[in-house]
């Protein structure tokens, strides 16, 4: 069976792997229908993702069909279309026992720390399948991206009387936009690229946007927030400079959520920016099972419109040739998917 492997940064190989066999207790055999490409995949390709290991078969944003179920599996049936929760947790560590499965102490993300879905068929834990028979395969693959933003917004916990500033209008930032808007909070998006801000206005109904890089960001933010700045700031850039600057956009008693990941150190001015405003700094990692269920329901109910999200398609056969272009902002990629 063929698979695509990232052997080292910027080096792909088509390899032969063993057939997966039949699923055991608690497992399912799935057919991969669609694979989403996200910032983690791009970071792994560029050598900028700290959790990525090589060689690795990528693929963690998955839309799958159930081909076979293990003897004790009851939550899915053969033929079900599912979105995959790709965070394989041990179920036994302190974090898992407290329900924090997203940050299991022995966590393995498919396609990042262990091999993922860039192949024809794989065996997965049945407990990580989320039935979504009313969604298309590409919508199923999109659920994981949306779940990252859902969890990040939950970490910031905005109310309808507050404002949320999302820095970075890539896929993760856009997923946070969806849930900031659903919270009823005033939603503001900041990015260095005007076309991304235009996308937010035209396709996601975001009224307030700020073009970064002109030195007037705080002035423009205060104009939008009656001088208070943002109650919740979500930095989805993964850029250490942006993440450091993000404290300055927080209102007094604000919450700053880092959902983007950097390999660089962060340094903050303590007294004027952090202590005086008594800010909360929060990390947001992965998502929870309940987020997948919620997102599938929201898509089914029409409360999340997935139409603008999928901007580029490729196939298993053409992905290697196409992938480099997906790393370049000028390509205009919001979400690229691999049709298997």
Cβ proximity of 164 and 194 under 8 Å: no
The phi, psi pair for 236, rounded to 5°, reads -110, 20
The structural architecture, per CATH, of the domain 149-283 is: 3-Layer(aba) Sandwich (3.40)
Give residue-wise pLDDT tens across range 149-204.
999 999 999 999 999 999 999 889 999 999 999 999 999 999 999 989 999 999 99
Q: Is it the case that residue 338 has pLDDT exceeding 90? A: yes
Give residue-wise pLDDT tens across range 35-83.
999 888 998 999 888 888 899 999 999 999 999 999 999 999 999 999 9
Give residue-wise pLDDT tens across range 31-47.
999 999 988 899 899 98
Q: Is it the case that residue 333 has pLDDT exceeding 90? A: no
pLDDT, residue 251, reads 97
Q: What is the mean pLDDT of residues 242-266?
A: 92
Q: Is it the case that residue 266 has pLDDT exceeding 90? A: no
Integer CA distances (angstroms), 95 to 98, 106, 150, in order:
5, 10, 20
pLDDT, residue 329, reads 79
Q: Is it the case that residue 246 has pLDDT exceeding 90? A: yes
When the pLDDT of each residue in the chain is averaged and rounded to a whole number, the result is 94
pLDDT, residue 57, reads 97
Q: What is the mean pLDDT of residues 23-27?
A: 97
pLDDT band at 263 (very low <50, low <70, confident <90, very high): confident
Alpha helices, DSSP H only, in the chain? 39-46, 94-97, 137-156, 171-182, 194-204, 217-224, 240-245, 289-300, 319-326
3-class secondary structure, 235: strand
Q: Does the predicted TM-score (pTM) go above 0.85?
A: yes
Q: What is the mean pLDDT of residues 298-308?
A: 94
pLDDT, residue 262, reads 81
**Rounded-to-integer distance, Cα 68 and Cα 29, Å:** 5
pLDDT, residue 50, reads 80
Sequence spans of domains, the chain? 2-133+309-339, 149-283
3-class secondary structure, 214: coil
Q: Is it the case that residue 264 has pLDDT exceeding 90? A: no
pLDDT, residue 280, reads 96
Give residue-wise pLDDT tens across range 73-110.
999 999 999 999 999 999 999 999 999 999 999 999 99
Cβ proximity of 60 and 37 under 8 Å: no
pLDDT, residue 199, reads 92
Give residue-wise pLDDT tens across range 127-154.
999 999 999 999 999 999 999 999 999 9
Cβ proximity of 151 and 93 under 8 Å: no
Give residue-wise pLDDT tens across range 305-326.
999 999 999 999 999 999 999 9
pLDDT, residue 39, reads 84
Please enumerate in sequence order all residues whose Cβ is within 8 A of that of 179, keeping only pairs 6 or more positions apart, or say none.
146, 149, 150, 152, 153, 154
211, exposed or middle or buried, with CB in 10 Å at 0-12, 13-18, 19+? Answer: middle
pLDDT, residue 211, reads 97
Comparing CA positions, the residue from 305, 177, 292, 275 lying closest to residue 232 is 177
Which residue did the predictor score with more confidence, 265 or 36?
Answer: 36
Cβ proximity of 188 and 197 under 8 Å: no
**Rounded-to-integer distance, Cα 238 and Cα 168, Å:** 9
Q: What share of the chain is helix, strand, coil (3-state, %, to 5)?
A: 30, 30, 40
Residues counted in the chain: 340
pLDDT, residue 289, reads 96
Q: Is it the case that residue 271 has pLDDT exceeding 90? A: no
Q: In DSSP terms, which residues pair with 167 in a beta bridge?
A: 190, 235
Which CATH superfamily does the domain covering 2-133+309-339 fall into?
Answer: Medium-chain alcohol dehydrogenases, catalytic domain (3.90.180.10)
pLDDT band at 238 (very low <50, low <70, confident <90, very high): confident
């Amino acid at each position: 069976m063929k698979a695509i492997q990232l052997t080292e940064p910027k080096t792909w190989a088509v390899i032969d792997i063993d057939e997966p066999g039949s699923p055991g207790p608690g497992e399912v055999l799935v057919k991969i229908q669609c694979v989403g490409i996200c910032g983690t995949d791009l970071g792994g390709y560029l050598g900028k993702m700290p959790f990525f290991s090589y060689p690795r078969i990528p693929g963690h944003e998955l839309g799958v069909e159930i081909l076979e179920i293990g003897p004790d599996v009851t939550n899915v049936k053969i033929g079900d279309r599912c979105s995959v929760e790709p965070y394989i947790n041990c179920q036994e560590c302190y974090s898992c026992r407290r329900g924090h499965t997203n940050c299991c102490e022995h966590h393995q993300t498919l396609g990042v720390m262990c091999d993922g879905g860039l192949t024809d068929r794989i065996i997965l834990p049945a407990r990580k399948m989320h039935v979504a028979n009313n969604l298309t395969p590409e919508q199923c693959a999109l659920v994981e991206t949306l779940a990252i933003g859902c969890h990040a917004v939950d970490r910031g916990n905005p109310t309808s009387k507050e404002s949320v500033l999302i820095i970075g209008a890539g896929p993760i930032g856009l997923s946070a936009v969806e849930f900031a808007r659903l919270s009823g909070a005033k939603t503001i998006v900041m990015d260095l690229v005007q076309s991304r801000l235009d996308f937010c206005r035209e396709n996601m109904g975001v009224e307030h946007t700020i073009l970064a890089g002109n030195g007037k960001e705080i002035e423009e933010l205060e104009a939008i927030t009656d001088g208070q700045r943002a109650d919740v700031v979500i930095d989805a850039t993964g850029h250490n400079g942006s993440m450091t600057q993000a404290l300055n956009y927080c209102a007094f008693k604000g919450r700053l959520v880092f959902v983007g990941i950097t390999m660089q150190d962060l340094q903050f001015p303590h007294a004027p920016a952090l202590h005086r405003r008594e800010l909360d700094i929060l990390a947001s990692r992965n998502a929870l099972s309940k987020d997948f269920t919620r997102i599938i329901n929201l898509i089914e109910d029409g409360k999340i419109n997935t139409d603008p999200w999928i901007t580029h398609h490729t196939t298993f056969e053409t992905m290697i040739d196409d992938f480099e272009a997906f790393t370049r902002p000028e390509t205009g990629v919001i979400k690229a998917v691999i049709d298997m």
